Amino acid sequence: MTTTNTGILNLHPDRNLGMELVRATEAAAIRAVPFIGHGDKNAADKAAVDAMRAFLATVNFDGVIVIGEGEKDEAPMLFNGEHVGNGRGPACDIAVDPIDGTSLTAAGRQNAVSVIAVSDRGTMLDASSVFYMNKIVTGPAGIGVVDIRKPIGENIRALAKAMGKDVGDIRVAVLDRPRHEGLIQEIRDAGAGTRLLLDGDVAGGINAARYESRIDMCVGIGGSPEGVVTACAIKALGGMIQTVLAPKDDEEKQKGLDAGLKFDYVYDQDTLVTSDNTFFVATGVTDGGLVEGVRRKGPIIRTDSIILRGRSGTIRRVQADYRADRWLES
């Protein structure tokens, strides 16, 4: 067999890189546990970053972080442009969030997760110059039905019809932020119910696209990096995501234009990530609708993870038990 260094699956056709990457999200989640509910989100984040970086160094790939936590001079963050992996495998773009929901972790609230997303080198949109984007995410029923440029009420009614549901049974996830007060009211005026998220719109978007979820749609303005990460997951779930960049001011918009980004333009899953060769891996830090949080059960530490593979459309649930004494000693 001829091997190349141009794609995740070209190295070994049946290799699931996600099964290697999950070790890094598991480690990050476990290391964050002592900080749950203790009010120090920076300490939780640092512990998760250090653990994730150490495990990523062992993975057989040549990864470059496109979406990280900051620039190189902000170490110990996993910074944009940092090379990870042992350099001996496929060339990949990497998006990392050692804890998506540091504030949730610090407060002891639900839905904090550790996340890694991967695609072929050069296929992940670098939207780091514009911090926010407006998003709408649904499952497969929303494809060709929902349009981010239309009023939210119209989209809710169209999705309800496509799903064979009453409008009153539609549930829409939205980040609970002052900027969304009008949007939340419009959703309720349309007759749908809301699921307000304290943080973590990656999990909200994935749940909107996931089969048998209690959420039908996720909308609102959130982080641009999270939008790209969500797109990697949507590739496996068969749903849809549409986004429009939402610059805070003219200066940020100009930075985006200088970086080659498009405004008044709808980015979807195929323009946020141009390859179908994607992996999305998440491990629960605290309990949530996507995965359970880390649990101590006597002599073991148990983690709950999800691995989504874009090309095969595979969704794997992974539960791992670690000997607690090994982690307490290390």
3-state secondary structure 28-74: HHHHHHHHCCCCCHHHHHHHHHHHHHHHHCCCCCEEEEEECCCCHHH
Residue 293 gets which letter from DSSP? P
Residues of the binding site: 45, 69, 97, 100-102, 132, 177-179, 199-201, 223, 226
Gap between the Cα atoms of 16 and 73, Å rounded: 33
CA pseudo-torsion sign 204, 210, 213, 215:
positive
Measured over the CA atoms of residue 69, residue 75, residue 81 and residue 82, the dihedral's sign is negative
Q: What does each C-alpha distance from 330 to 47, 49, 51, 187 come to in angstroms?
A: 13, 16, 11, 49
How far from chain centre, in Å, is Cα 213?
17
Q: Residue 62 is encoded by which pair of tokens? A: 């040549």
- Torsion angles phi and psi, residue 306, rounded to 5: -130, 140
Binding residues for substrate, as ranges, are 100-102, 132, 177-179, 199-201, 223
Q: Which residues are known binding-site members for Mn(2+)?
A: 45, 69, 97, 100, 226
